[in-house]
């Protein structure tokens, strides 16, 4: 029996343990285990017989699309008097990378990941990526209604509060740049790669306003480092910004 057939026809204790663990997250026992095992397969592990990639990335793409659609429908039904701009902004907050990473982390999804790469090298976005892949697997196994029910259970009910989200800032950098432009101040991000012995590459940034260093940030990507520094700077000027 080849690799793909084994995935489609689980008959061992390991697969049964996998299904039981997933049931506690999904709320049901999966039927098409093939999709769920693929959702947790890192690109470093498997390839098909003809050498093509076999990993969670295509399911991640599918899950991302249905996640957007289901959240859009939820907002359409629950914010009936809001305009398109409001709905788009709220959806962006709900399906932000930060939010999806938190959900994936809270669900403990990385414990299922099959990979030859050390978990320390995954990066923060692995949590959200795997969650989206799982959504894709749920759709292929249970259809749109089943997928909607799953997202309602693990995302909407525990994490979505429209009133709270209305005041949530998704990009401190954007807020800070807008404020500086309004006040005709010059803002600058000096980003550089950290020279450390850590396995994961880190970047640091110095944020300056009118040539004065206001804050610093450090993260595993330039974008994240800038956001960390921006958040710290925002709270330094919060009173002035919120006037």
Tell me: the pLDDT tens digits for 66-109?
A: 999 999 999 999 988 888 988 988 898 899 888 999 999 999 99
Tell me: pLDDT of 223 over 60. Answer: yes
Tell whether 58 and 124 lie within a shared domain: yes
Residue 144 sits in the same domain as residue 192: no
Q: Quote the number of domains for the chain.
A: 2
Residues 211, 106 share a domain: no
Burial 67-78 (b: 16+ CB within 10 A, else e): beebbbebbeee
Same domain as 156, residue 62: yes
Q: What tokens were used for 200?
A: 């994961």
Q: Are residues 203 and 93 both part of a single domain?
A: no
Query: Which of 21-35, 125-139, 181-195 has the largest mean confidence?
Result: 125-139
- 132, 141, 226, 227: the catalytic one is 132
- Tell me, what's the pLDDT at 141? 95
pLDDT computed for residue 113 by the predictor:
85
For 198-208, what is each residue's pLDDT tens digit?
Answer: 777 889 999 99
Which residue intervals of the chain are DSSP H helices?
A: 3-8, 13-26, 33-39, 57-78, 84-94, 97-106, 126-151, 157-159, 162-166, 172-182, 222-236, 238-241
Q: Is residue 167 classed as helix, strand or coil in its secondary structure?
A: coil
Both 152 and 203 in one domain: the answer is no
CATH of the domain at 190: 3.30.160.20
> Which residue segment(s) compose the domain that 75 sits in?
3-166
% of residues, the chain, pLDDT over 90: 47
3-state secondary structure of 46: strand
pLDDT at 1: 40
- The pLDDT of residue 2 is 44
Q: Is-catalytic flag, 106? A: no
In the predicted structure, residue 3 carries a pLDDT above the cut 80: no
Among 15, 57, 64, 166, the one annotated catalytic: 64
Sign (positive or negative) of CA dihedral 140, 143, 144, 145: negative
Q: Which of these ranges, 82-91, 102-111, 113-122, 139-148, has the smallest mean pLDDT? A: 113-122
Instruction: State both tokens at 172.
Output: 């401190």
Cα 171 from Cα 175, distance rounded (Å): 7
Shared domain check, 114 and 22: yes
Q: Torsions phi, psi of 73, nearest 5?
A: -65, -40
Q: What H or E segment, with its residue span, contains residue 208? A: strand 203-209
- Which CA distances in Å does 239 have to 156, 179, 214, 229, 235? 32, 12, 15, 17, 8
Annotation marks residue 141 as catalytic: no
CATH number for the domain including 147? 1.10.1520.10
The answer to whether residues 140 and 96 belong to one domain is yes
Answer yes or no: do 206 and 144 share one domain: no
Both 147 and 229 in a single domain? no
What pTM was computed for the model? 0.69
pLDDT of residue 23 exceeding 80, the answer is yes
């Amino acid at each position: 029996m080849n690799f793909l057939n084994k995935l489609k026809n689980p008959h061992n204790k390991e697969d049964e343990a996998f299904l039981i663990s997933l049931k506690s997250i999904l709320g049901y026992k999966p039927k098409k285990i093939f999709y769920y095992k693929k959702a947790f397969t890192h690109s470093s592990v498997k390839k098909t017989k003809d050498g093509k990639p076999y990993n969670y990335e295509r399911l991640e793409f599918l899950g991302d699309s249905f996640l957007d659609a289901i959240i859009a429908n939820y907002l359409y039904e629950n914010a009936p008097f809001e305009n398109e701009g409001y709905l788009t902004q709220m959806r962006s907050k709900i399906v932000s990378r930060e939010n999806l990473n938190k959900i994936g982390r809270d669900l403990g999804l990385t414990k299922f990941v099959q990979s030859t790469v050390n978990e320390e090298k995954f990066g923060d976005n692995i949590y959200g990526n795997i969650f989206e892949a799982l959504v894709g697997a749920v759709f292929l196994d249970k259809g749109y209604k089943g997928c909607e029910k799953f997202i309602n259970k693990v995302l909407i009910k525990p994490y979505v509060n429209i009133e709270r989200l209305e005041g949530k800032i998704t990009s401190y950098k954007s807020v800070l740049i807008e404020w500086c432009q309004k006040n005709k101040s010059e803002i600058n991000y000096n980003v550089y790669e950290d020279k450390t012995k850590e396995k994961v590459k880190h970047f640091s940034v110095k944020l300056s306003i009118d040539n004065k260093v206001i804050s610093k940030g450090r993260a595993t990507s330039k974008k994240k480092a800038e956001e960390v520094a921006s958040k710290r700077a925002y709270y330094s000027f919060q009173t002035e910004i919120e006037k």
